[in-house]
Amino acid sequence: MNLPAPGQQKACPQIPAGSPVLDYNLTPLEPDLRYLILSDIHSNLEAFEKCRELAREKYDQALCLGDLVGYGPDPNAVIEGVRFVATIIIRGNHDKACAGLTDAEDFNPFARLATVWTREQLTPEHFAFLRALPSGPVQLEGFTIVHGSLIDEDEYIFGAGQALPALRNLTAQPVCFGHTHYQGGFALTPKGRFQSIRCTFKQNELTYVLPLEEGGRYLINPGSVGQPRDGNWRAAFAILDGEQRHIEYYRTPYDLPTTQKKMQRAGLPEPLIKRLAFGR
């Protein structure tokens, strides 16, 4: 692969303002539905397909919290797949960068290279689709979705410092967020105690069920489908059950060697290929 040096990147094609690109097939959301929550797929088709397979017949509607692309080898196939399964999709910082809405200046050099590579691969239709993705928060029936946080789509909620003020100010909740690639999240119990939500790590499939208690407040992170960073390489997702009032956290192994081989063939940076195996 011949990567242009930063500053020599191809100019991104301009989409005329107001282009009708989103064609959500919106059906009314019901509080008693089961929602499949996908986030940070990052062009990892094998991980995405495996999550779809495990989630099959376990949900009514699928939502995506952003970062469909960036890092991985299959941006077009993943966008196609997500558009097929998810009724609501919001954008992440990598979607913005790959669509030329931001310049990826704040990305590390490897992420930046992957961004340039992704821009070159995207079909004009998928480029336009990414470019038109709405930002969060999106308020749904009984919960909210964001990529980063409620106040800033690019903010990372890593710990109590960011989570506590957010939990105290929640007006609509639970809030489902992504961006950090850490499965779990944070809660304020009905008695006001702060908790980090930790999932069992070395297990496959349904790893943890979190009851949403009356009077509790919750920030829910389904984890990353395509590039987990919580020390577990397995693909992550969650299901929000509106009727049972609980969150189901899932992990699943996937065909990692195939993803890594594709990345090698594409000439994507070696550290991005290796990190998938460590979940870091």
Positions in the binding site for Zn ion (CB under 5 A) = 40, 67
Contact 137, 124 (CB under 8 A): no
Cβ-based nearer residue to Zn ion, 67 or 230: 67
Cβ-based nearer residue to Zn ion, 62 or 64: 64
Residue with tokens 């029936």: 141
Smallest distance from the beta carbon of 70 to Zn ion, in angstroms? 7
Instruction: Give Rg (Cα) of the chain.
Output: 18
- The DSSP call for residue 153 is T
Smallest distance from the beta carbon of 67 to Zn ion, in angstroms? 4
Element (H, E) at 48: helix 45-55
State which amino acid sits at residue 68. Answer: L
Cβ-based nearer residue to Zn ion, 45 or 188: 45
Dist. CA 264–CA 259, nearest whole Å? 9
Of the candidates 248, 247, 193, 184, the one whose C-alpha atom is nearest the C-alpha of residue 215 is 193
Cβ-based nearer residue to Zn ion, 67 or 153: 67
**Cβ contacts of residue 18 below 8 Å, gap of 6+?**
none
Of the candidates 121, 174, 101, the one whose C-alpha atom is nearest the C-alpha of residue 144 is 174
Cβ-based nearer residue to Zn ion, 40 or 153: 40
**Cβ contacts of residue 193 below 8 Å, gap of 6+?**
none
Smallest distance from the beta carbon of 43 to Zn ion, in angstroms? 11
Smallest distance from the beta carbon of 184 to Zn ion, in angstroms? 16
Smallest distance from the beta carbon of 181 to Zn ion, in angstroms? 6
Phi, psi of 54 (to 5 degrees): -70, -30
Cβ-based nearer residue to Zn ion, 63 or 212: 63
If one counts every other C-beta atom within 10 angstroms of the C-beta of residue 137, the result is 20
Smallest distance from the beta carbon of 226 to Zn ion, in angstroms? 8
Q: State which residue has the least CB distance to Zn ion.
A: 67
